[in-house]
């Protein structure tokens, strides 16, 4: 999905004539992707906190290792979500600039 979004952004930067219907459809698709990744990111973050807390309370090294693994996974999700959020904001900018130009 990251490659598709990046290639579409590159296409928009190179294009002088932006198809507004296609842009709206792509915004809808990437908004859905962003929402799903937000839900998964929150779930992984909560899981990390739970595993870490249980590892400290129960004093089980396996839970602490599991919390470290989910922390690494969480950091990758944060970076990916950051990319999605910023890219969708760029799509909004293209849409708003196109709206201004058409008036």
Mean pLDDT of 82-95: 92
Asked if residue 10 is part of any domain, the answer here is no
Model confidence at 25: pLDDT above 70: yes
Asked if residue 27 is part of any domain, the answer here is no
Mean pLDDT of 8-36: 90
- Using an 8 Å Cβ cutoff, are 87 and 4 in contact? no
Asked if residue 22 is part of any domain, the answer here is no
Asked if residue 25 is part of any domain, the answer here is no
Asked if residue 28 is part of any domain, the answer here is no
Q: What phi-psi label fits residue 14: left (phi over 0), alpha (psi between -120 and 50 degrees) or beta?
A: alpha
Asked if residue 23 is part of any domain, the answer here is no
Looking at residue 75, what DSSP letter applies? Answer: H
Q: Which two tokens stand for residue 39?
A: 């839900």
d(CA 70, CA 10): 33
Backbone angles phi, psi at 19, to 5 degrees: -75, 110
Share of the chain above pLDDT 90, in %: 66
Q: How many domains does the chain have?
A: 1
**Which residue, 90, 45, 36, is CA-closest to 70?**
45
Asked if residue 51 is part of any domain, the answer here is yes
Asked if residue 14 is part of any domain, the answer here is no
Q: Supply the pLDDT for residue 75.
A: 97
Mean pLDDT of 56-77: 94
Q: Supply the pLDDT for residue 33.
A: 93
Segments forming the whole domain that contains residue 53: 34-98
């Amino acid at each position: 999905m990251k490659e598709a979004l990046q290639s579409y952004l590159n296409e928009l930067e190179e294009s002088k004539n932006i198809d507004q219907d296609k842009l709206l459809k792509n915004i809808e698709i990437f908004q859905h992707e962003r929402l799903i990744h937000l839900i998964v990111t929150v779930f992984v973050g909560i899981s990390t906190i739970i595993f870490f807390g249980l590892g400290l309370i129960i004093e089980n090294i396996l839970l602490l290792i599991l919390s470290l693994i989910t922390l690494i996974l969480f950091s990758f999700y944060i970076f990916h979500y950051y990319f999605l959020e910023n890219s969708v904001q760029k799509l909004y900018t293209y849409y708003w600039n196109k709206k201004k130009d058409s008036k």
